[in-house]
Amino acid sequence: MKKLLIVDDSREIRKQLKWGLGKEYRILLAESVDEALKLFEQHSPEVVTLDLGLPPDIDGATEGLRCLQSMLQSQSMTKIIVLSGNEDHANALAAVGMGAYDYYHKPIDLNELKTILSRAFHLAGLEAENLRLQSSASQNEENGYSGIFGQCPQMQQVFAMIKKVASIDVPVLILGESGTGKEVVARAIHNRGIRKDFNVVAINCGAIPESLLESELFGHEKGAFTGAQSRVQGKVEYAEGGTLFLDEIGEMAPLLQVKLLRFLQEKIIQRVGGREDIPVDTRIVAATNVDIQESIKNGEFREDLYYRIGVIAIELPPLRDRGDDIELLANIFLRRFGQEFGRKVRGFSSVALRWLRTYDWPGNVRELENKIKRAVVMAESPIVEACDLGFEEKQKTVEAGEFCENDTSPQVPTVANEYSFVGMTLKDARRQVESVLLQQALERSQGNILKAAEELAVSRPTFYDLLKKHGLHQS
């Protein structure tokens, strides 16, 4: 069971919480700082509820804050919920400033506290998973799987294929939609293979005009064409001893397919405008997002070339078919960009997670990575919201609390259509939307901050900060 440490000098409160929460969590009880720190070190609980008024300073907060500081110095990822009286609001805010997850004013309502605890444990689980993924990322780097993550059966099969083909010097064809990570897999094959000490050279066959692609691949001699003022080596020669990655090979023109086939058969090239046969030893790894069999049937791709480059084929699944990998990758990117940009982002709101899980991801992993990068930059709190990911642009304007009848996107409420945004900047419109949602949430919850924060999928401290930001007051 998940471990919850309850630190409170009141025997009645300890008894109440143990009785009310004992079925859901393994409860650890402490009535002093020394006892709390001892249990904390022994059991490493994911979440702690901490009374600030502990002996010998039961009327102050010095002991509670000392306990908080010691716990966070020992295990900074622990979620500590401060329990305090209504008159002790300043100390509760100070505790949050020191790193406490949240605060709750006594007297205790078990249902409200259960909601806060549930979120705290959920976030603790996400952060623990992030740490595990970070360790997994380091291990992947060491094992030559740099940048590839996945736990779904399809990706486990991809890992197994990479392991099998990496040390065998045969051509490999990687199939998959745009953005699924074909080049990352190609580099993993190279990094685990016998050519890992040499270059891996990539060229996108679909991004270079046909008139230039031959020169890019095979190089050219001086004077071979207008502007050819010196001899230039092509990508194939640069890949000598290593790996040549031909991305989007399905877009290659038929004439170049013939020349590439000759190279694959004879391991010899001629530069454009030259007559010298140049032997080149390189491994070919190719990739495409087109249906090769359909291209062969339509006469757009040579069947004999396909058999040369597709000795081994690895098919990458689209992100929408990878289940829990979406959330896994989202958290990996969140941690990576949070560190890169110096932003303290910790996880995703429930609404944001719903978007992540149900969105179709036409751009696959590349699109997910870009959305998370945007979110880290845009997020105004440690918890990423759906609007930070850019999903609000896909919502339609409907009455508050209602959903779009013909919208196939996840059902997320939008702002009432009586509010006009004509002539406003995006920043001003966002502020107005935010203000309206805060007011509506307060009205529906009849001024209950906890319920209003829960409706908007933010923590209570964040909700208070938003009220202050928009000059709103609790009714």
Q: For the segment 164-215, what is each residue's pLDDT rounded down to a tens digit?
A: 999 898 999 999 999 999 999 999 999 988 999 999 999 999 888 888 898 9
Is 306 part of any domain? yes
Q: What is the pLDDT of residues 211-239, one digit of tens each?
A: 889 899 998 888 878 777 888 899 999 99
Is residue 34 domain-shared with residue 57, that is, in the same domain? yes
Q: What is the pLDDT of residues 272-306, one digit of tens each?
A: 888 889 999 999 999 999 999 999 999 999 999 99
Is 433 part of any domain? no
Enter the pTM of the model: 0.62
Q: What is the pLDDT of residues 6-25, one digit of tens each?
A: 999 999 999 999 999 999 99
Is residue 275 domain-shared with residue 310, that is, in the same domain? yes
pLDDT score for 399: 28
Is residue 44 domain-shared with residue 15, that is, in the same domain? yes
* pLDDT for residue 341 is more than 60: yes
Please check whether residue 72 is in contact with residue 78, taking contact to mean a CB–CB distance below 8 angstroms. Answer: yes
| C-alpha triplet 294, 299, 300: angle, nearest 5° | 75
Domain boundary among 370, 393, 416: 393
pLDDT score for 395: 43
pLDDT score for 144: 53
* pLDDT for residue 421 is more than 60: no
Cβ-Cβ contacts under 8 Å for 140 (sequence gap 6 or more): 146, 147, 148, 149
Please check whether residue 104 is in contact with residue 113, taking contact to mean a CB–CB distance below 8 angstroms. Answer: yes
CATH of the domain at 285: 3.40.50.300
pLDDT score for 189: 94
CATH of the domain at 83: 3.40.50.2300
pLDDT band with cut points at 50, 70 and 90 for residue 438: confident
Q: Is 107 helix (H, G, I), strand (E, B) or coil?
A: coil
Q: Look up residue 332 and give its amino acid.
A: I
80: left (phi over 0), alpha (psi -120 to 50) or beta: beta
Is residue 306 domain-shared with residue 157, that is, in the same domain? yes
Domain boundary among 393, 425, 452: 393
Is residue 84 domain-shared with residue 99, that is, in the same domain? yes
d(CA 132, CA 14): 33
Total tally of structural domains belonging to the chain:
3
pLDDT score for 348: 83
Classify strands 172-175 and 312-315 as parallel, antiparallel or unpaired: parallel
| Of 149-163, 289-303, 343-357, the least confident | 343-357
Q: What is the pLDDT of residues 83-119, one digit of tens each?
A: 887 677 888 888 888 888 888 888 888 888 898 898 8
Is 429 part of any domain? no
Is 402 part of any domain? no
| C-alpha triplet 186, 316, 189: angle, nearest 5° | 20
Is residue 234 domain-shared with residue 259, that is, in the same domain? yes
CATH of the domain at 365: 1.10.8.60
Is residue 65 domain-shared with residue 126, that is, in the same domain? yes
Is residue 186 domain-shared with residue 113, that is, in the same domain? no
Is 380 part of any domain? yes
Is residue 224 domain-shared with residue 242, that is, in the same domain? yes
* pLDDT for residue 418 is more than 50: no
Is 106 part of any domain? yes
Is residue 235 domain-shared with residue 292, that is, in the same domain? yes
Is residue 328 domain-shared with residue 304, that is, in the same domain? no
Residue 147 or residue 270, greater confidence: 270
Is 376 part of any domain? yes
Is residue 282 domain-shared with residue 384, that is, in the same domain? no
Domain extent at residue 97: 3-134
| Of 62-71, 135-144, 277-286, the least confident | 135-144
Cβ-Cβ contacts under 8 Å for 54 (sequence gap 6 or more): 7, 9, 31, 32, 33, 63, 64, 67
Cβ-Cβ contacts under 8 Å for 89 (sequence gap 6 or more): 105
Classify strands 278-279 and 268-269 as parallel, antiparallel or unpaired: antiparallel
Domain boundary among 363, 393, 423: 393
Q: What is the pLDDT of residues 364-385, one digit of tens each?
A: 999 999 999 999 999 888 888 8
Q: What is the pLDDT of residues 49-66, one digit of tens each?
A: 999 888 898 888 889 999
Is 70 part of any domain? yes
